Amino acid sequence: MSRVKKGVNALKTRRNILKQVKGYRFRRSKTERNAYEAISHAGTYAFAHRKDKKGDYRRLWNVRINAALREINPENSYSKFIGALKKSNISLDRKSLAALADENPEAFKKIVEKVA
Q: What is the set of domains in the chain, with CATH numbers?
A: 8-115 (1.10.1900.20)
Nearest-angstrom CA–CA distance, 54 and 60: 10
Question: What is the pLDDT confidence band of residue 113, given thresholds at 50, 70 and 90?
Answer: very high
Other C-beta atoms closer than 10 Å to the C-beta of 89 total 6
The confidence band for 112, taking pLDDT boundaries of 50, 70 and 90, is very high
Q: Which residues, 6 or more positions from 13, have their beta carbon under 8 angstroms from its beta carbon?
A: none
C-alpha to C-alpha distances, 90 to 60, 63, 64, 110, 116, nearest whole angstrom: 21, 20, 19, 13, 12
pLDDT digits (tens, 9 = 90+) for 70-94: 999 999 999 999 999 999 998 999 9
The residue length of the chain stands at: 116
Q: pTM of the entire structure?
A: 0.72
Average pLDDT over residues 44-63: 96
As a whole number, mean pLDDT of residues 54-59 equals: 96
Residue 100 CA from chain centroid, whole number: 21
